[in-house]
Structure 1
Amino acid sequence: MKRRVAITGIGLIDPLGESMGSFFDRTVKGESSIRHYATNDIPVPVSIPAVFCQNFNGDEILGKPRTISMDKFSQMGLVAAFEAWTNAGFDISDKSHKPNAGVSWGTALGGTRIYEQGLKEMWQNGRERLPPLAVVMGMNNACSSHIAIQLGLGNSSLSYTVACSSASAAIGEAYRRIRDGDADVMVAGGSDTPLIYGVIRAWDGMRVLSPGNEETSPNACRPFDKSRSGLVLGEGAAALVLEDWDHAVSRGASIIAELAGYGANCDHTNLVKPDPTGQVAAMSLALDDADVVIEDVGYINAHGTATIEGDPSEIEALRQVFGSHAKDLAVSSTKSTHGHLMGASGAIEAVITILSIKNGVVPPTANLKEIDPLCEGVNHIKVGDQNKIKLRAAISNSFAFGGSNAVLVFKSAQ
């Protein structure tokens, strides 16, 4: 029998170093966490709009004995997981073996930072080799491993890397493990730290990064707007605690929302060009899995990266899936405020979607002034629009390079 999956804990790294409640309040107001990011890297300095967690200090939060073997993406992921675990009513100091609990984590880049730092040391300072712990710090499953070790999660330690859909896929696969009876509790989410020289230069080489300076950077990400000019990179992490519904009820847990459906597929057409057909299929799979009718869905947290081709493709897919209901469907892209966290995006957007259901309010697409005619046909929520909506169900979309699509359907816990 298909088991219901409750969400009992949430945690995230807030770019401005504030609380979960403050982060959501700012997101609902459309306040940007995007700032001008500049370095003096050789040979070409970096100057881009970005979301960077300048107040994050893993050594202070976790302690040097833990962080000495952890890349920044693992440090951020572990902090978010700790917050979600505590928020769910569990004790992070209890490291006893938990055979019914596991972890499922997403990352697009893993510990790329440690490799780049090591190579710089070799080239610039004549170091003969990378640090001894570079392999275990840089491996993509490092974060999931640290979470499992620190929390005693013995059921599974799984890591998913499907570009920008990584965290959503990790959450969706964790949901399936609980739904099908393979686990009772799962920590699921994602983390990425793409603000390193080689990664920035790679994205810049694709000509998809939005430009900006000290003054214009907060408004650099403009999904669905006629003047949009590209995506904004961001670093961070977010985590959920998913739990068998009956297990959560039996221990008296507070249930925040329900994860009711998951759809995943591949466009199988092009590495970088999105395909509405594949997106339609992924959303349809998720809706069928959740057993909800389209009229039950009141909000879409869109993938919405503010790229020229990506935004219209997603809106076309929404029009096809939701038909006449599309015009009443509240849609926003919160990447306009927190940037594109790569493999972690699906996790932070899942948290926002869950909080939208819980609080009956949806965030706007910041900086959306003039809707691109190709993106019309849905109820775009702008800053200042009436955004108080009682939600029975909402969707979070993640559509990645490589054609990997992952869609999550959340329901109210009421």
Structure 2
Amino acid sequence: MSRQTASRRSLRALDAANLFLADVRDGIGPFLAIYLLASHDWDAGRIGIAMSAMGIATLIAQGPAGALIDRVQQRRLVTAVASGTIGLCCILMTWFVNLPAIVFFQALMGVAAALIVPGLTAITQGLVGYRGLARRQGRNEVFNHAGNIVAALLAGLLGHFVAREWLFYSVALFALASVISILLIREHEIDPELARGARLADETSPVNESGLVMLLRQPALLAFSVATLVFHFANAAMLPLAGQTLSAGTERGASLYMSACIIVAQLVMIPVAHLAGARADRWGRRPLLLLAFAVLPIRGLLYTVHDAGWWIVAVQLLDGIGAGLIGVLTVLIVSDLTRGSGRFNTAIGAVAVAHGIGAALSHALAGQVVAALGYDAGFLFLAAVAALALVFVVCCVRESMPDRGCPSPATLPA
């Protein structure tokens, strides 16, 4: 299949979309709890219901969202509408502050957020092809992490010095900027077959297979999904538990230390993501994947050494390595394993469901361990799960990059 090289305008617009969507796809996040408690005196029970609505909706919608992105031709428009929906909901939540309305808006944002990741990955692969995907995905993650830093700083400053409502308006502004950026990508430069991981334009690929059936029929994809689930099972609760140890102890300025944890991790993720994108085709996916999994049990153990704020921040640097690598490798490995199937985004959605399940289990079970045995036991529990995840990857997850037995790059859509 012949295709045009993506123009500078489209690639720069993709950079901007990744920068602005970093804030948009998570919605208002933990700042919602601060707003509802401090500005409207909500109790913890209602806040918990409101906070969980977006995550539950995203988890339910993730699989169908990936399948939809595989089926539609206007992937750029779908992604832009999803981003705009989140921005609009953020504004409406400042107008209608009651439990049914907040839950509805959070759920709608969750469904929209489920469309953004597969939509963006489809656009990326459709623009640059298989051969350019590793380096481009590394660049996407660099702009994503930079966007997280900018958004965190902006939200903190606006919420503190202006008004808490501006936490919501800042997300809406980022959403508007992301919509403009996405629409600046030239539609005709997005190869529709590459965007869904199909072979050639004149070949047909199955489009009626669910994400679950696809996982069960492809052992390599199933193994990677299980590895993803266990990784996030071990990872998701680590930082929240670290924040609780700071708040429960005698350390002053716990909130400042937590902000520092988030920012330093994102700063590390930027060069790590760049390195992963630049070296994944040369070194292969598996060595980088093993490194991502190897740092996680070490991080869990180090949290038990000291509960001082400076130590927690230092340990959090390791999260930048693991998360920086996983963000790039997930897209590359799924692309490798679905090449020619036409179900690239369906598989992305299925792996995202595994991510969500792992994170939910992490918070639920680690919290129970901490309640019964204390924070050190909680970190040791997560470190043990991380060690099991590493063993699983060593034994069950193989190199996914096409080897010499696969068609040469010249015969694949580039």
Q: Shared fold by TM > 0.5?
A: no
Higher strand fraction (1 or 2): 1
Higher helix fraction (1 or 2): 2
